[in-house]
Structure 1
Amino acid sequence: MTKPALQQSPDGFYLNRTPWFAFLLLCCCFALWAAAASMNDVLIAHFKKAFLLSDVQTSFVQSAFYLGYFFVAIPAAMVVRRFSYKTTILIGLVLYMAGCSLFFPAASMAKYGMFLMALFVIAAGLAFLETACNTYSTLMGPRETGTRRLNISQTFHPFGAMTGVYVGSFVMFKDTDATREQLTQMSASEAAVQQLQMIQSTLLPYKWMIAVLVLMFVLIAFTKFPACKGKVTANVKSSSIG
C-alpha cells in the first residue's frame, strides 16, 4: 500500500502522518542530552578526587552546566523562529561536539576552569536541542497524537541517562586510582602524575560521544525534515523541507 504524500495541515504546523525515520532521529536527541546530564554526577565525584576539591568547588560543575541553559535557551528559541527546527538541532549538535572537544585541552593542561567552560558549551548545545526537539516532536504528525509522540520521545531520555552513568562510571573510575587520602600523602610530583592520569581518564567517554554526535549530525543534515512552522512559512499543500 502506497503511503500518502507528506503534507502539512492547513495551519502549517502539524503533518498528515509521521515521517518515522526523521522522528526516530529526533528521539535519539533526547537520549543524547540525557547522557550528558547524567555524566555530570560522575564528573563531580571524579573531579573532587582528582583536583582535591571542596564540596563548594565541586558544585561549580552543576553551576556551569545549568548556566548554559539559563543563557542560551532564549537565543535558541529565536533561532527556531528565524530559521528552522532542523537548523537549531544542528547548531545544538555542533555546540555539543565543541564542548566535548574542549575536554581534551582541559585534560592536557589539567585545568579545572577549562572543564567548567567545556561543560558550559555542552549545556549551550543541549539548550538548543531541547528547545527544538520538545516542541518539534509534537508537531511531526497529526495534531490529535501530538502528546503521544512527545511521550514516545521522552522514553529515550532514561535510556540515555542510564547509558551516561554506566559509561562514565566504568570508564572514568579505576581500581588503581589513588584515593584522596593517598594523594595528600604523596609528594607533589607523585601526586601530580596520579592526578593527571585520573583527569585524562575522563576523555574516553567523550571520544565516544563525539563519534556518536558526528554520526547524528550527518544523518540529520541529510534527512528531510518538515518545517512545521505555521502557514506563514509553510506550504499548506506539501511539506516544506528544512
Structure 2
Amino acid sequence: MNSTSTVNPPVQTAQSGNYTFALTSLTSLFFIWGFITCLNDILIPHLKAVFDLSYTQAMLVQFCFFGAYFICSLPSGALVKKIGYQKGIVVGLVIAALGCLSFYPAASMHSYPLFLLALFILASGITLLQVSANPYVTSLGNPDTASSRLTLTQAFNSLGTTVAPYFGAYLILDNVASSMTTAAEKAAAVQMPYVMLAATLLVLAAIFAWLKLPKIEQQHDSSTPASGSAWQYTHLVLGALGIFVYVGAEVAIGSFMVNFFGEANIAGLEEAEAAKYLAYYWGGAMVGRFIGAGVMQKIAAGKVLAFNALMACVLILITVFSSGQLAMWAILLVGLFNSIMFPTIFSLALNGLGSHTAQGSGILCLAIVGGAIVPMIQGVLADSIGVQLSFILPIICYGYICYYGIKGSKPSQVNG
C-alpha cells in the first residue's frame, strides 16, 4: 500500500539523463517503508502476548500508525511545498529513524503507551516520506508513463512487505520462543531490530542529503477552471471511501493473520512459524501488480477492480466458513487480488479532476486512515465473536470496492 502527495502536481525541469539514477535511488525508499509497515503485523501478536492485550487493544498498533497519515498528511504536504521534495525525503527519513530509536526506551520501561508513541513518530516520518517521494517519481519523465513508473516503484514497496515477515519472525518471534521467559525480556526483543532499522534510515538520510537529484518545481494544472472544489466530484468522494475500506481491509487481514493461523482448527502454528506465511500474502500483492499492469492494458480498470474485489469476497467467505489448510490458503490468496486495488482506485478517483487533482489526492491520502479504523472494529468483533468470524468485516469492505469498480468510479460532478 502506498499513499500519494497532497501537494500540487510537479513539472519536470531536469535533464532526462538523470532520471534513471534518481529513480533507482528512490526505489530504496519504497522498499524500506513497505518493510517497516509490514513489521506491524509481527509487532501485533508479539505485543499482544507481552502485555496480555485484548484484540481491540492490540489493534491500537495500527490505529496509531495509520492515524499518523490522517494527522500528518496535510502538514507534510505544506512542508514539502516549502522545502522541496529532496529535503522532504531527508527530513522524513530522520523522523522515521527517531521513531525506531524510541522503541528502545519503550521496551526498557515495559510501556505499551510508549510503544504506541514510537509507532506514531515512525509513521509520521513515513507519511512525510511518501508525500515527498510519490509525486517526485511521477515527475521524473514523460507524464504519459507516470503511472507505470509509480507501479514499478510500488513493486519494490511490495518486495519490502514480502521480506519483512521473515526478518521479524527470525529476529523477534524466534528469539522470544527460544530463550526469553519474562515479559521484560520479550519486550526487549524488539530493541535491536528497530535500532538496526534506525541506523539504516539515518544512512539513507545522509545519502539523500548528499545526492545531486533533479530539481523539480511545482505548478498548478490549468486544464480546468480553478473554481469549485474536488468535493464536487462524486466519483472522487466515493473513491475516497474506496481507499478507506481497501486500506482498512488489507491492514486488518494482515494484522490478524498470525493469531488466526495459531488457532487449533486452522493450522495450530507457533507465532514465529505463522509469521513467515505473511510473506505469501504480501508477496501475492507484488506478483499481482505485474499481472494486473498487463491485464489493464486490455481490460478497463474498473472491471478489473470489480473482479478482484469479488474474488476477495469469495476467498474470505471460504475462510470464514471452512477450516484447516483451505481456510488458511484462502485468506493468503486475498493478497494476490489486493495487488491492483490501491493504485486503481486512486487513478479512477482522480480521473477528470484537472486543477482539483492536488486537492483530490490530498483527500485520498487522508482516507488511508481506514488502516487505523477498520482493524480496530475487527478487533472488537474478534473479542466478541472470535477471529475467524471477524473476517466478515473485510467482506463488506471488498463488496463496496466491487460496486465502485462497476458503477461508483464513473466520472461525475455534482452541479453547483
SS of 1:35 mapped into structure 2: helix
Q: How does 1:58-207 map to 2 (within 5 A)?
A: 58-174=58-174, 177=177, 194-207=182-195
Post-superposition offset of 1:78: 0.5
> Is the 8 Å Cα contact of residues 14 and 140 (structure 1) preserved in structure 2?
no
Structure 2 letter corresponding to 1:196:
A
Partner of 1:50: 50
1:102-146 Cα offsets, whole Å, 9 max, x none, are: 000001100000000000001100100111111110111233332
> Does the 8 Å contact 1:100/1:206 carry over to 2?
yes
Aligned counterpart, 2:403: none
Hey, what's the Cα distance between the residues in 1 that align with 2:89 and 2:168?
25
Q: For the structure 1 residues 175 and 214, does the alpha-carbon distance in structure 2 shift closer, same or farther, using more than 3 Å as the test?
A: closer
Aligned to 1:211: 199
Give the distance between the partners of 1:163 and 1:174, measured in 2 at CA: 16
Name 1:27's counterpart in structure 2: 27
2:164 and 2:207 map into 1 onto residues whose CA distance is: 22
- 8 A contact 1:64–1:117 mirrored in 2: yes
Match of 1:13 in 2: 12
Are the aligned partners of 1:14 and 1:143 in contact in 2 as well (CA < 8 Å)?
Answer: no
AA at the equivalent of 2:12? F
Q: Which moved more, 1:167-176 or 1:115-124?
A: 167-176
Q: How does 1:31-42 map to 2 (within 5 A)?
A: 31-42=31-42
Residues 1:222 and 2:221 aligned together: no
Q: 8 Å contact 1:47–1:58 — kept in the other structure?
A: yes
Q: For 1:12 and 1:119, how far apart are their aligned partners in 2?
A: 34
Cα distance, 1:12 vs. partner? 4.3
Offset, 1:39: 0.5
SS at match of 2:52: coil
Give the aligned residue type for 1:33: W
Q: Kindly state the Cα deviation for residue 152 of structure 1 after the two structures are TM-superposed.
A: 1.7
Q: CA 1:231–1:119 in structure 2 vs 1: closer, same or farther (change >3 Å)? A: closer
Deviations 1:18-55 (A, max 9, x none): 43222222111111111111000100000011111111
- What TM-score, normalized to structure 2? 0.48
Gaps in structure 1 of 5+ consecutive residues: 1-10, 179-190, 233-242
Q: Higher helix share goes to which structure?
A: 2
| Equivalent-residue separation in structure 1 for 2:109 and 2:218 (angstroms) | 49
Q: Report the count of equivalent residues.
A: 209
How much has 1:164 moved relative to structure 2?
1.7
Offset at residue 230 of structure 1 (A):
3.5
Distance across 2 between alignment mates of 1:13 and 1:96 = 28
| Aligned residue identity for 2:57 | Q
Structure 1, 111-120 or 17-26: larger mean CA deviation: 17-26
Shift of 1:147: 2.2
Contact 1:15–1:139, Cα closer than 8 Å, also in 2: no
Give the aligned residue type for 1:13.
Q
- Supply the distance in 1 between the matched residues of 2:96 and 2:167 (Cα, whole angstroms): 18
Q: Is 2:90–2:205's contact at 8 Å kept on the other side of the alignment?
A: yes
Return the letter of the residue paired with 1:115. F
* d(CA) in 2 for partners of 1:130, 1:175: 32
Higher relative CO (Cα under 8 Å, sequence separation at least 6) belongs to 1
CA spacing shift, 1:87–1:175, aligned 2, 3 Å: closer
Tell me, yes or no, if the aligned pair for 1:15 and 1:142 is still in contact at 8 Å: no
TM-score (norm 1): 0.80
Is contact 1:93–1:125 with CA below 8 Å preserved after alignment? Answer: yes
* Aligned-residue RMSD, C-alpha: 2.1
Following the alignment from structure 2 to structure 1, what is the Cα–Cα distance between the partners of residues 174 and 139? 45
SS of the residue corresponding to residue 213 of structure 2 reads coil
| 2:12 match: secondary structure | coil
Shift of 1:58: 0.4
AA in 2 matched with 1:140: L
Distance 1:175 1:107, change over 3 A: closer
Tell me the secondary structure at the aligned position of residue 229 of structure 1: strand
Extract unaligned runs of 5+ from structure 2: 1-9, 221-416
Task: Tell me if the contact between 2:91 and 2:205 (Cα under 8 Å) persists in the aligned partners.
Answer: no
Q: Mean alpha-carbon deviation: is it higher for 208-217 or for 35-44? A: 208-217
